[in-house]
Chain A
Amino acid sequence: MDIITPGFGLIFWTTIVFLLLMVLLSKFAWKPILSAVKEREASIDKALEEAQSARAEMQNLTSSNEQLLKEARQERESIVKEARVARDKMVAEAKDIASGEAEKIMTAAAAQIEGAKMAAVTELKNHVAQIAVDMAEKVLRSELKDPAGQKASIDRALEDVKLN
């Protein structure tokens, strides 16, 4: 059968064409294409790796941020707390001082008032006494014009004095 009998010419040409094709394609097509594909794959791998590490770094950063935030919050709280305590303390102290001072002032004021009152009373007393003396003098003068009256008024006066 001719169909399963390989012809020499075709074997010859196929060998030449196929081998030549293999050499040419290897040099001018497969080599540049395969190296470019490999390069790209390497760069993709690298990019993925970088993305991964960037993500990890980001995660680190986020967690450290959170840590920082937490710490800041804690610090703020403690500061606020401290401030509150200090404020309370200060207020209490101020209260103490103020009340002390107020007491002192009150005491002083009371003493002063007492003093002033006493002075006023003394003065009033003196004054009243003076008036009384003056009046008595006047009365005495008028009453003493007659001796009976003198005596009566002296008695009255004495009685009043006693009553006082």
Chain B
Amino acid sequence: MNDTMTFKQLFFGLLTLCSVTVSASTDSHDATQTTESDAPFDPREMIMEHVMDSHSWHIMDWNNYAVSVPLPVILWTEEGLVAFSSSKFHHDTKGHHVVEAGGQRFVNHHEKIYYASQAANHDGAFVEMRDGLAVSAKPVDMSITKTVASLLFSAVLLMWIFFASAKNYRRRGSASPRGIASFTEPLIVFVRDDIAKANIGKHYLRFVPMLLTMFFFIWLNNLMGLIPFFPFGANVTGNIAVTLVLAVIVMLVTNVNGKKAYWQHIFWMPGIPGWVKPLLSLVEFIGIFTKPFSLMIRLFANITAGHIIVLSLVSLVFIFETAWVGPASVLLTLFISILELLVAALQAYIFTLLTALYIGTAMQEDHH
């Protein structure tokens, strides 16, 4: 029995390391915390925890202590901005631990920050519950969460990569690219020619910087999400808020650049019987929103699904409670991970391509 426990602990450590989320803190010696090996393993909970955002960056569990990087919690409360370290919650996500900051009391309940209620409920949480849902008031949460931290990190990496590339051109003029530029240039030229120029047409150059930023931002974040070690592994492009922002930008850029022909096709489609026109204009008007909406959902679903599949396969050992599933689990995970590498590039390409296509359609001159 003792042997099995050690084995399981070891595996859990590896699992946490290899799985998509990693994070941790130096002050993780909270003895009151329940140890992971005591509780029955719940793959759904683990997967959801890794796929969703959190206020601290959990790296691994070691000797029953969570190792995670504390991140700043920034709250826009009724009494102004309040900021404190996420380590103050002592890894509590069940609303048990109340943090007092700026003269107010907060709890972390399933990675959401609530104003703590005066007394604990029957679960020991300082949150008011109704029908199984937390109904306590919430401050506006502007924390640097794991996703935001990863986002910032990816931004730094992107700037590092492309400033280094640009430096190469400053030094060598228009001579053939060397070093990192010889890797980035074909990709940049690909985005410029095969995505922007091919789909937008005459005025494509105006949109190339945005498409380049979009393509590399999505691709790098997709790839970073596949690396299971800190400081990678956050599910940035699989977070609906991130894809929402990208989609809204696409929607704004598309419609701001819409030419006369584009609006005419939406509100009074030429070349069809008059009575169909209002009907079609309704459909076309909805289309303004469904196009970016599909972009948002496609990226979010693809990346999140990839993370879920990898985590599920890794969890197989614990679901079947036998180490014999290990080899199959590892092989399948390897296979899916390689597939995900392809998906990472593919989704970045599709998102950028469709963006260019939408802009191209909106920019089309009337040719009827």
Contact = CB atoms under 8 A, between A and B. Distances in A.
Interface of A: 2-15, 17-18, 20-22, 24-26, 28-34, 36-37, 39-40, 43
Contacts of B143: 9
A20 B241 contact: no
Interface in B103-129: 110, 112
SS of A interface (majority): helix
A34 B174 CA distance: 10
B141 to A, nearest CB: 5
Interface residues of B, number: 52
A32 B173 CA distance: 10
Contacts of B159: 21, 24-25, 28-29
Interface of B: 48, 51-53, 74, 110, 112, 140-145, 147-148, 151-152, 155, 158-159, 162-163, 165-166, 169-170, 173-176, 181, 184-185, 188-189, 192, 208-210, 212-213, 217, 239-242, 244-246, 249, 300, 304
Given A10-B239, A17-B148, 16 more contacts: A3-B304, A6-B239, A9-B143, A10-B242, A13-B148, A14-B245, A21-B217, A24-B159, A25-B158, A25-B213, A28-B162, A29-B162, A29-B163, A29-B165, A36-B173, A40-B176
A33 B151 contact: no
B243 to A, nearest CB: 9
SS of B interface (majority): helix
A17 B151 contact: yes
Contacts of B112: 2
Nearest to B216: A25
A8 B140 CA distance: 7
28 contacts: A2-B52, A2-B112, A6-B239, A7-B241, A9-B74, A9-B143, A10-B53, A10-B242, A11-B241, A11-B245, A13-B148, A13-B151, A14-B241, A14-B245, A17-B148, A18-B217, A18-B245, A25-B159, A28-B166, A29-B163, A29-B166, A30-B212, A32-B166, A32-B169, A33-B165, A33-B169, A34-B208, A40-B174
A78 to B, nearest CB: 56
A161 B244 CA distance: 166
Contacts of A3: 48, 51-52, 240, 304
Contacts of A25: 158-159, 162, 209, 212-213
A13 B241 CA distance: 10
A38 to B, nearest CB: 8
A34 B188 contact: yes
A24 B213 CA distance: 10
A55 B52 CA distance: 64
